């Protein structure tokens, strides 16, 4: 069955069961816009640095390519799961909605809580700092100004997104296109070097040892981690499903196209690194993209990589600022977040207060210098929720009556089961190698439970006092 045609006409489901009545902005995101969000949310600074992190655990070029292809396949499996869920739940909210409906409201709340406090806001702070640092290498402003430049980037993009989904998506389209062009340039260099150079750096060697033992599997798992984290981000489109035109068809297509583009580009970019540097030098490199360009074109051209990283991190900061607030607004509409976050701007139809709340918290993390530590604590939390979301898809197939025209994931139930297994394997791996940080991260995630019970109690009191009974939509 074709991946892009696996839509089935099914008996209609009462919409209120999974789509509570709500005021949503006009749907303005086209297939191109949505695909650029998917690709742009994945491509950050990782592809310019992380291949060397993977290579340090491996023996040869073939193993490095295998790891990045395998990570791409895993990302594609995850994308397929989110494609069906985004087609089923056509409103904004993403995993908050999926986990709430499939399992229990408090699990959806914990996702939203973790997204706001650490995953999204912490990522905004971290990526903005990376952007500012590489911008400093180009403009040579004082080092002390780096944090202030990062804050300027955050608030500038917040203001852009305040003025509507179209300005935000336009910025996203431009910067995703630019970062893809930068990677296409590297791929072109790799192809040219393969055809006209006799360096012979690429040495595939044996892909697997004669005896596959625990030591090899452990090294493979460690090499896979930087690649997996470089492929993350496709889920951001589901956060803004309520603003995608014809989401039942276009959202799955955008995820499949966006992830496929990135997988192809990432694998070919790794090929460029392997054709440009000896494997041992690649393993020891701290900035593999810059070192590879310098090896081929000279030192003065390696500064182009700094520009590419500035473009890439600026674009991914924008997509995080664009998408996250739609989740907080979905929560607030149901009483699970600050009430003011539920408001849409009357003219621009944006969750403006959610945007500024997120940016204010990201700025606080930025100036307190706690974003890096928090991200280390809860990075594995992303994969906990990935695994739970894949299991949610299986449960929702059984729990909900049929919907008309919903995209259905190919290879069900094996695709979500395999993706869930891998996600939880990542979590276990992080726990084994960073137990203290993992425990701290778990504590941060679970710290949202008292707030959930307080919000539940508040909504129940409002209902008793004559408030709107559906304000928490399933949290009672």
String of DSSP letters for 77-116: HHHHHHHHHHHH--STTTHHHHHHHHT-HHHHHHHHHHII
- pLDDT classification of 140: cutoffs 50, 70, 90: confident
* Cα 269–Cα 271–Cα 275 angle in degrees, nearest 5: 120
> Is the pLDDT at 366 greater than 70, yes or no?
yes
- Residue 313 to residue 300: CA distance in whole angstroms: 22
Output Rg (C-alpha) for the chain, integer angstroms. Answer: 22
DSSP state at residue 7: E
- Residue 290 to residue 302: CA distance in whole angstroms: 5
Contact predicate 29/245, CB 8 Å:
yes
The lowest-confidence range among 76-85, 201-210, 299-308 is 201-210
- How far does the chain reach from its first CA to its final CA, in angstroms? 41
pLDDT computed for residue 12 by the predictor? 36
Contact predicate 371/125, CB 8 Å:
yes
> Is the pLDDT at 3 greater than 50, yes or no?
no
- pLDDT classification of 463: cutoffs 50, 70, 90: low
Instruction: Annotate 113-138 with b (16+ C-beta within 10 A) or e (fewer).
Output: bbbbbbbbbbbbbbbbbbbbbbbbee
The residues pairing with 426 across neighbouring beta strands, listed in sequence order, are none
- Residue 207 exposure: Cα atoms within 13 Å on the Cβ side: 6
pLDDT computed for residue 277 by the predictor? 92
Is this structure's pTM higher than 0.85?
Answer: yes
Instruction: Annotate 382-419 with b (16+ C-beta within 10 A) or e (fewer).
Output: bbbbbbbbbbbbbebbeebeebeebbbbbebeebbbbb
Cα-to-chain-centroid distance, residue 101: 22
- Residue 79 to residue 410: CA distance in whole angstroms: 11
DSSP state at residue 26: P
For 158-192, what is each residue's pLDDT tens digit? 999 999 999 999 999 999 999 999 999 999 999 88
pLDDT computed for residue 347 by the predictor? 95
- Residue 36 to residue 40: CA distance in whole angstroms: 6
CA-wise closest residue to 379 among 31, 46, 142? 46
- pLDDT classification of 467: cutoffs 50, 70, 90: low
The contacts of residue 333 (CB under 8 Å, 6+ apart) are 22, 342, 471, 473
Percent of the chain exceeding pLDDT 90 equals 70
Determine whether 298 is exposed, middle or buried from the number of CB atoms within 10 Å of its CB (0-12, 13-18, 19+): exposed
Select 7-18+27-199+217-464's CATH number: 1.10.3720.10, 1.20.1740.10, 1.10.540.10, 3.20.20.70: 1.20.1740.10
> Is the pLDDT at 7 greater than 60, yes or no?
no
At residue 4, φ and ψ (nearest 5 deg) are: -90, 0
The lowest-confidence range among 13-17, 148-152, 405-409 is 13-17
- pLDDT classification of 156: cutoffs 50, 70, 90: very high
What SS3 state is found at 455? helix
pLDDT computed for residue 216 by the predictor? 86
Sign of CA dihedral 161, 109, 73, 202: positive
The lowest-confidence range among 198-202, 288-292, 350-354, 386-390 is 198-202
pLDDT computed for residue 474 by the predictor? 35
Contact predicate 49/288, CB 8 Å:
yes
For 71-128, what is each residue's pLDDT tens digit? 999 999 999 999 999 999 999 999 999 999 999 999 999 999 999 999 999 999 999 9
pLDDT computed for residue 194 by the predictor? 82
pLDDT computed for residue 94 by the predictor? 96
- pLDDT classification of 206: cutoffs 50, 70, 90: confident
- Residue 274 to residue 270: CA distance in whole angstroms: 6
Helices (H) and strands (E) in the chain, counts: 19, 2
Average pLDDT, the chain: 89
Contact predicate 64/219, CB 8 Å:
no
For 352-362, what is each residue's pLDDT tens digit? 999 999 999 99
The residue extents of the domains of the chain are 7-18+27-199+217-464
């Amino acid at each position: 069955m074709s991946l892009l045609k696996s839509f089935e006409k099914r008996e209609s489901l009462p919409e209120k069961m999974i789509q509570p009545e709500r005021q949503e902005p006009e749907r303005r995101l086209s297939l191109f816009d949505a695909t650029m969000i998917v690709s742009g949310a994945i491509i950050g600074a990782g592809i310019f640095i992380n291949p060397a992190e993977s290579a340090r655990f491996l023996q040869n070029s073939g193993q490095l390519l295998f790891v990045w292809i395998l990570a791409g396949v895993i990302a594609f499996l995850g994308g397929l799961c989110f494609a069906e869920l985004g087609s089923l739940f056509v409103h904004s909210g993403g995993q908050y909605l999926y986990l709430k409906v499939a399992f229990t409201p408090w699990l959806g709340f914990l996702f939203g809580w973790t997204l706001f406090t650490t995953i999204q806001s912490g990522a905004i702070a971290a990526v903005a700092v990376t952007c500012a640092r590489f911008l400093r290498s180009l403009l040579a402003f004082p080092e002390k100004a780096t944090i202030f430049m990062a804050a300027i980037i955050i608030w500038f993009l917040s203001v852009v997104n305040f003025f509507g989904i179209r300005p935000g998506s336009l910025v996203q389209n431009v910067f995703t296109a630019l970062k893809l062009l930068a990677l296409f340039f590297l791929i072109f260099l790799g192809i040219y070097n393969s055809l006209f150079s006799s360096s012979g750096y690429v040495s595939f060697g044996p892909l697997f040892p004669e005896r596959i033992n625990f030591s090899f599997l452990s090294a493979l798992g460690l090499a896979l981690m930087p690649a997996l984290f470089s492929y993350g981000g496709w889920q951001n489109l589901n956060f803004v499903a309520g603003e995608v035109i014809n989401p039942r068809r276009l959202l799955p297509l955008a995820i499949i196209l966006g992830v496929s583009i990135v997988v192809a580009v990432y694998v070919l970019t790794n090929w460029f690194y392997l054709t440009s540097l000896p494997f041992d030098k690649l393993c020891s490199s701290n900035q593999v993209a810059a070192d590879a360009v310098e090896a081929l074109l000279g030192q003065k051209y390696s500064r182009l990589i700094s520009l590419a990283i500035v473009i890439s991190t600026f674009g991914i900061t924008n997509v995080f600022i664009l998408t996250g607030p739609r989740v907080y607004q979905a929560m607030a509409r149901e009483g699970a977040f600050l009430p003011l976050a539920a408001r849409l701007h009357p003219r621009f139809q944006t969750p403006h207060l959610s945007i500024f709340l997120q940016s204010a918290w990201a700025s606080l993390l930025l100036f307190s210098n706690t974003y890096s530590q928090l991200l280390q604590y809860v990075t594995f939390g992303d994969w906990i929720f990935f695994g739970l979301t894949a299991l949610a898809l299986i449960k929702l197939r059984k729990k909900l009556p049929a919907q008309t025209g919903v995209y259905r994931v190919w290879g069900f139930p094996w695709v979500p089961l395999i993706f869930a297994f891998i996600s939880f394997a990542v979590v276990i791996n992080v726990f084994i190698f960073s137990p203290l940080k993992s425990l701290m991260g778990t504590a941060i995630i679970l710290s949202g439970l008292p707030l959930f019970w307080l919000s539940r109690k508040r909504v129940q009191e409002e209902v008793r006092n004559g408030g709107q009974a559906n304000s928490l939509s399933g949290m009672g």
